[in-house]
Structure 1
Amino acid sequence: MMLLPTRRRQTGVFAVRKRDISWREIESMVSRGRFFVRRCLLFWAVVVQTTTCSAAGLPSLETVNGGVMHEALKNLPAEFDDCQEIIFVQRGGYTDPHWYANIAYFCDDKNKPAYTRGAQLCKLNLKTGRVSVLLAADAGCIRDPKVHYDAKKIIFAWRKDNSAHYHLYEINVDGDGLRQITSGPFDDYEPEYLPDGGIVFVSTRAKRWVGCWKTQVGTIHRCDADGANIRALSCNIEHDNTPSVLPNGQILYMRWEYVDRSQVEYHHLWTMNPDGTGQAVYYGNETSWGVFLSCRPVPGDDRVMGIYSPGHGRRDHYGWLSFFSTRHGPDDPRGLEHIEFSWGKPNLADPWPLSANAILAADHNKSRIIIAEKTPDKYTARILYEIKNNDRKWIAQSPRPILPRPRERVIADRSNQSSPTGRQVMIDIYDSRGARGVKRGEIKKLLVIETLAKPVNFSGSPDTLSFLGSFNLERILGTVPVEPDGSAYFELPANRPVFYVALDANNLSVKRMQSFTCVMPGETMTCLGCHDTRRHSRTSFGDTGRIMATQRPASPITPVPGAPDVPDFVRDVQPVLDKYCIRCHNTKDRKARLSLEGDMGYTWSISYYSLIMRNQVADGRNGHGNQPIRSLGSSASPLLGKLEGKHHNVKADYADWIKVWAWIEAAAPFCGTYGGLRNGAQQDTKIGVFSGPAQQIIQKR
């Protein structure tokens, strides 16, 4: 028998108690590890069986026109005086509960699509009440329409009846002039016109999968008006969504990420220039909030308006109509204001503000198009159109006014597409919220780590990558120096998501970034320090008036001697345990009450499982962002101290110590390759236990 910690609820927190447990029970616990992963990490999801809308019975013009509320068209708000018509889409609703799972197919069955079938692109005349159908898709789908600045054209995503992919199309507002813009075996969707004549959109061209679910990832791309010169603006390994353009010419969009933290908390607003440079938080990323979707500027106001989709987001991008403001900083709770209607907060989607007092939106619960109107106390809903006889369970989405509007400021391209690198300038790592409590001179270097996209998927879980830990692998690129004044200036590989770990003189972690950044080719990006509030700027820079790091060329990233780039537990860590630990921690000598032998359980080795369960590694699993200093990584991991002479005089040499150090700083994975994602060897059943051979379609892949 041996003792292992278990958890029990005690006065609102978890307390540790010990109980006897057999080795057979340990093996059973390890073998059920995948079940624990699925239940703990995907407790909010359901097993989805995607349904399709029948192509038969697309709404006729008589039915469509019967849904117009003619009385509501009288005495419209003044903001609609010059608006003769609006467009909208009516289509089948999505069935998967995740806001992003509406493209391509689920990884466990290529014949089970995530998209819906059946749609119409419609135009409503606000003067006559007449609805015309500009384009219909019987078995395909239409989504995400936007009106051009000149109010003569509409761009949208269309999945044709015989296609599995969305592509971008453009059509005149009278229904003529249909043309295709993009093509290929990818999904292109959520387009937006750019003031420079280009188009920004979301695309699956990066060829990656969601780390914690079964569907593909879409990230920000751009192209010319004719679809030429497509290039990625984002290197996110998770989803970007719903780009729009701010008055200053920057792109506003939702970015989802979970570097060393929870996968269901951080999907907030970011900005970038139309060339992808200058990526920065606009609002959020520090606080656990919902998903911020379909946000765009409010005319005559310094706020943006969009949808706060509660929790981990809702299908069809619906949630609460909300204002977002940066007046008090990029994450101050005062900047988030939910709009209250007379009956509460309805489930709305796809808002288009004509002002802060008149907003077009889709009412998801009632399948209708509304105008949210400001009254002295609260907002009221004027219903313009409602789907009648809705046996297909269609929804009305994406109402847009056909109104000319001024172009936003044009920002010149600052990138150099021929350059393989960019540069980062950090002004003062100590002058920021993230470094509170750190003494000047304590930080000697930055560890640069790349977070790796998931190129293949079989279950939507970490599988053998980790036990309730990271969903993604991390690659150690190396270190760069930090000057005595806290400044740093260094080169970065372009278009790759990286984050930094501040290290002390002993190479121990002081502060982890818990977010990622990237530079475009040829870009020089500047930041103040860790988790900058953007509410103040530096006015002095020491005796010379200049920061030290920029008085020299940019530092190249220096590889860490002896450290594996993508650590693997069996290859890199288990030999160290065999050398220093298993003489006591083995199955024969029960005095140590813990085995660190490398025998394999069903999913992980006994040693890996034991180290994780005994909290010997601090890897930020499912925690919140911006953790305190020295609370994550090598400084907070007891295992590393035990190899430094603090545990029965066991002292590892550098060659062994650095491998364990690298493994911890790279999020302590078990398997150091995405090739370990079961390779389709077994399948995910409805209760989440991998217990049988894969479906034939997976085996063929």
Structure 2
Amino acid sequence: MKHSLFLSCCLAVCASGVFPVMAQTFSNGLPAKQIVLSQKAREALKGKQILYIEREQYAPDHHNTATLFQPGEINEASFAPGGAMRVYDVDSGKIRTLIETTEGVVRDPEISFDGQKVLFSMRQHPKDSYHLYEMNIDGSGLRQLTFAEGVSDIDPIYLPDGNIIFTSTRQPKYCMCNRHIMGNLFRMEADGANITQIGVSTLFEGHASLLSDGRVLYDRWEYVDRNFGDAQGLWVVNPDGTKHAIYYGNNTASPGGVIDGRQIPNSDLVVCTFTSCHERPWGAMAIIDRRKGVDNEAALVDIWPKESAKWVGNGNLDSFKGVGTFYEDPFPLDENNFLVSRTIWVKPGGWNITDAKSGIYYVNRDGTEELLLEGNQSLFDPMLVEARQKPVSIPMMRNFTAEEGQFYVENVYEGTHMAGVKPGSVKYLRVVESPEKRTWTVRGWFGEGEQAPGMNWHSFENKQILGEVPVEEDGSASFMVPAGKHVYFQLLDKDKKMIQSMRSGVSLMPGEVNGCIGCHEDRLATVPMGGQRPIALNRKPNKLQPWMGEEPHKFSFMEEVQPILDKHCMKCHDFDRNNRKKLVLARDKNPFFNAAYINLYVSKAVHLVGGGPAAIQQAYSWGSHASKLTEIIDGDHGSIRLSQKEKEILYTWMDLNGVYYPVYESSFSDHWAGRCPLTDEEVKQLSELTGLDFGRLNSWTRTQPAQISFDRPEESPCLDVIRNDKEKYKKAVSILKEGRKRLKETPRGDIEKDLIPCEKHQGQLRKYAVRLEENLKSNCSIAEGDKYYDPK
């Protein structure tokens, strides 16, 4: 009843002119410029109707995922209103407008299996958020399905069982190498009820489509000890959120992104877009055959433009910015014929909305590329208006009352990149969570990508150890993990040193059981039949044993590592005005981290993967086994004798990729690195007084050791050049003392429990808590067989 009332209100508002205009009449010439089609195109499209979107191209931004321009976020001002959803009748050449808006944007259409309805996302005006809508294909029966304020709902698709999957920012999280809002996969019922999250990776999940076996194909961007720009590939998941798995391109340096995948009808091939990290969501149109590989160029069947094949596997994260002719939203008709949005022209070197224009093209694998439609604005999302066969419907396997799921590994020694790992050497498996980033700062630290705020020397994430479990003598392990966590695994030897580490995340839905053959096993190999059942699967799964006997908490260099350095190292490794070449391992805070942390990196005492390459790394190649620091603490270093617990803490720090801050929140959002207590004017004065360019120190590429001590300002090495100039020295020390005072009053996050987040971060955390509560309400409703809707 309430939905009927809402529909009546929608139609009334529409008639008043506030709502986007809907029209069911045909118009010739106004919506689009029609092209005289060739005989080949007419034969391929005879009797067809093509639905498409007309709008401005998304404004250029930092990443290919940055198309939302969500109100209240960093790029809100880039939203470009105006657009429509139209249908083109190929035979008659007529075009009808289903819905049009001058103040908002219509995007991401998906036609129902019977061809009678269309699902889409729309934002009515710049201050509105993207919500999901559905209407009949003749333009009647418009109804709004989602209503959440301050979030973006996009990329919806129909499921065979009538439910809907879409991407949303309902779990507000931000890009770890910058400041942009990210999205995850969600599922809801056909009327908008019981919206529940089915993807929990820490960055972006989007452009969902269905495979013929009922699984959802989507593109995913994530970090776990990875480079910021080459970790975007195609993944699959069951419609209930279980069994997330790599499909193609997760460990490929080029293309930087593999997005917009759609299975070609009656084949095992997928058409998709090979794109760049720092680009709009366009690039080359490619066909891949996963049976030939999940990362390599051998899987590439065809590509447009043809010359862009040279970059597959041989370029970098942004190579596909150079394709010249850009493709997006590919829609397969069959194995040889495609519809696609393609640039008609691109202004050389252009970086504005109007510097390119796209139309709808017909493409054939024989080399034909023919413009079908050109609009006043660019055209996107072409698809046929017709009934199609439903894929297999995969039943719901998720348990909405459970809090855990089960992982198992059959044999950790089975797989690639395990050279030198002898059977029996793996004794433990560690489970580490990579938490999402819920806030961002105005200023950042340049740790390869820009961390906002600064988190680590080179890698992007904080880490939380959930626990460890034993690995059996046959290499098997079985264990319970909290559901809804983005986690990864590390293999440890008898001393708790890391042998091998995952650099991609996995997760479990409540009650899910998921497993793998081994570590980095060949994903195209078949599971061997026969043989003995793995030891770990002959009993109940292990409970995670807390690291160091403590409850899970986010790892902090200052809280975990620094006390060991204070106890054993400070006698010989403190600041020394007479010997500035000495390795200083003091706890003194500087504008970005602390002295010991910076100096361990500058001195190359640790060999870590950082924001490492896309390729899987060999066992023993980084971390505690590969670091000079381990040789020192394991060897004869004077009278120093560390306990086994202290050694294990240092090993763990290196194996967690040398993290520093436990939290993304900070007290000084507008200051250097989002961590520095000094204002820009104070930093400028300090630079003028000491002659040191502090801006060059705000990066992992620095070669200078720590120059500032806020804890003991007089010991700061940057003061050496002015110690004999009493006036300059006094001014400089005064600035540093002011920094010390501010850090005491408002700790910046070196230790989580001491943090006092800035007001903006407190607001972002409150929004996160509200959205989490809404998701919990939906989950409880599903468990109770009830219905819960977005508050209107």
Q: Same fold (TM over 0.5)?
A: yes
Matched residue, 1:5: none
Q: Per the alignment, do residues 646 and 565 of structure 1 end up closer, same or farther by CA in structure 2, a change over 3 Å counting?
A: farther
Residues 339 and 363 in structure 2, CA contact (< 8 A), matched pair in contact too: no
Residues 467 and 609 in structure 1, CA contact (< 8 A), matched pair in contact too: no
Given candidates 422, 431, 440, the residue that maps to 1:457 is: 440
Matched residue, 1:246: 211
**1:674 and 2:664 are equivalent in the alignment:** yes
Matched residue, 1:415: 398
> How far apart, CA to CA, are the structure 1 residues paired with 2:592 and 2:343?
42
Matched residue, 2:290: 326
**Cα displacement (A) at 1:115:** 3.3
Task: Report the secondary structure of 2:660's partner residue.
Answer: coil
**Cα displacement (A) at 1:113:** 3.6
**1:158 and 2:122 are equivalent in the alignment:** yes
Q: Deviations over 1:628-647 (max 9, x none)?
A: 11122222232244233443
> How far apart, CA to CA, are the structure 2 residues paired with 1:527 and 1:571?
35
Residues 91 and 120 in structure 1, CA contact (< 8 A), matched pair in contact too: no
**1:480 and 2:444 are equivalent in the alignment:** no
Given candidates 50, 66, 72, the residue that maps to 2:37 is: 72
- Which structure 1 segments of 5+ residues have no match? 1-54, 389-393
> How far apart, CA to CA, are the structure 2 residues paired with 1:629 and 1:691?
44
Residues 562 and 658 in structure 1, CA contact (< 8 A), matched pair in contact too: no
Residues 107 and 214 in structure 1, CA contact (< 8 A), matched pair in contact too: no
Q: Per the alignment, do residues 84 and 600 of structure 1 end up closer, same or farther by CA in structure 2, a change over 3 Å counting?
A: closer
**1:88 and 2:53 are equivalent in the alignment:** yes
Task: Report the secondary structure of 2:372's partner residue.
Answer: strand
- Which structure 2 segments of 5+ residues have no match? 1-18, 309-322, 346-356, 445-449, 683-757, 764-792
Residues 109 and 120 in structure 2, CA contact (< 8 A), matched pair in contact too: yes
**1:298 and 2:298 are equivalent in the alignment:** no
Q: Per the alignment, do residues 118 and 247 of structure 1 end up closer, same or farther by CA in structure 2, a change over 3 Å counting?
A: same
**Cα displacement (A) at 1:699:** 9.1
Residues 342 and 380 in structure 1, CA contact (< 8 A), matched pair in contact too: no
> How far apart, CA to CA, are the structure 2 residues paired with 1:271 and 1:84?
30
Task: Report the secondary structure of 1:292's partner residue.
Answer: strand
> How far apart, CA to CA, are the structure 2 residues paired with 1:411 and 1:670?
43
Q: Per the alignment, do residues 617 and 541 of structure 1 end up closer, same or farther by CA in structure 2, a change over 3 Å counting?
A: farther
Given candidates 613, 618, 626, the residue that maps to 1:636 is: 626
**1:127 and 2:91 are equivalent in the alignment:** yes
**Cα displacement (A) at 1:573:** 1.8
Q: Per the alignment, do residues 373 and 602 of structure 1 end up closer, same or farther by CA in structure 2, a change over 3 Å counting?
A: closer
**Cα displacement (A) at 1:656:** 3.0
Residues 218 and 238 in structure 1, CA contact (< 8 A), matched pair in contact too: yes
**1:187 and 2:152 are equivalent in the alignment:** yes
**1:656 and 2:646 are equivalent in the alignment:** yes
Task: Report the secondary structure of 2:567's partner residue.
Answer: helix
Matched residue, 2:493: 504
> How far apart, CA to CA, are the structure 2 residues paired with 1:569 and 1:106?
36
**1:441 and 2:424 are equivalent in the alignment:** yes
Given candidates 401, 406, 409, the residue that maps to 1:426 is: 409
Q: Per the alignment, do residues 127 and 97 of structure 1 end up closer, same or farther by CA in structure 2, a change over 3 Å counting?
A: farther
Task: Report the secondary structure of 2:429's partner residue.
Answer: strand
Q: Per the alignment, do residues 102 and 684 of structure 1 end up closer, same or farther by CA in structure 2, a change over 3 Å counting?
A: farther
What is the percent sequence identity of the aligned residues? Answer: 28
Task: Report the secondary structure of 1:67's partner residue.
Answer: strand
> How far apart, CA to CA, are the structure 2 residues paired with 1:551 and 1:214?
47
- TM-score, scaled relative to structure 2: 0.75
**Cα displacement (A) at 1:621:** 1.2
> How far apart, CA to CA, are the structure 2 residues paired with 1:155 and 1:665?
46
> How far apart, CA to CA, are the structure 2 residues paired with 1:700 and 1:86?
44
Given candidates 336, 353, 378, the residue that maps to 1:357 is: 336
> How far apart, CA to CA, are the structure 2 residues paired with 1:230 and 1:75?
45
Residues 357 and 372 in structure 1, CA contact (< 8 A), matched pair in contact too: no
Task: Report the secondary structure of 2:634's partner residue.
Answer: coil
**1:118 and 2:82 are equivalent in the alignment:** yes
Matched residue, 1:101: 66
> How far apart, CA to CA, are the structure 2 residues paired with 1:300 and 1:202?
27
Q: Which has the higher helix share?
A: 2
Residues 248 and 408 in structure 1, CA contact (< 8 A), matched pair in contact too: yes
Q: Per the alignment, do residues 644 and 411 of structure 1 end up closer, same or farther by CA in structure 2, a change over 3 Å counting?
A: same
Task: Report the secondary structure of 2:30's partner residue.
Answer: helix
> How far apart, CA to CA, are the structure 1 residues paired with 2:252 and 2:762?
43
Residues 28 and 94 in structure 2, CA contact (< 8 A), matched pair in contact too: no
Q: Per the alignment, do residues 66 and 474 of structure 1 end up closer, same or farther by CA in structure 2, a change over 3 Å counting?
A: closer
AA aligned opposite 1:362: S
Q: CA RMSD, aligned part only? A: 2.9
**1:594 and 2:558 are equivalent in the alignment:** no
Q: Per the alignment, do residues 491 and 656 of structure 1 end up closer, same or farther by CA in structure 2, a change over 3 Å counting?
A: same
**Cα displacement (A) at 1:580:** 1.2
Matched residue, 2:364: 374
Matched residue, 2:570: 582
AA aligned opposite 2:81: R
> How far apart, CA to CA, are the structure 2 residues paired with 1:334 and 1:557?
40
Q: Per the alignment, do residues 441 and 320 of structure 1 end up closer, same or farther by CA in structure 2, a change over 3 Å counting?
A: same
Residues 465 and 670 in structure 1, CA contact (< 8 A), matched pair in contact too: no
> How far apart, CA to CA, are the structure 2 residues paired with 1:700 and 1:491?
33
Instruction: Report the number of matched residues.
Output: 628
**Cα displacement (A) at 1:108:** 7.3
Q: Deviations over 1:94-116 (max 9, x none)?
A: 22141111224487758x44533
Q: Per the alignment, do residues 667 and 355 of structure 1 end up closer, same or farther by CA in structure 2, a change over 3 Å counting?
A: same
Task: Report the secondary structure of 2:680's partner residue.
Answer: strand
Q: Per the alignment, do residues 470 and 228 of structure 1 end up closer, same or farther by CA in structure 2, a change over 3 Å counting?
A: same
Q: Per the alignment, do residues 528 and 144 of structure 1 end up closer, same or farther by CA in structure 2, a change over 3 Å counting?
A: same
Q: Deviations over 1:107-134 (max 9, x none)?
A: 7758x44533211111112122222221
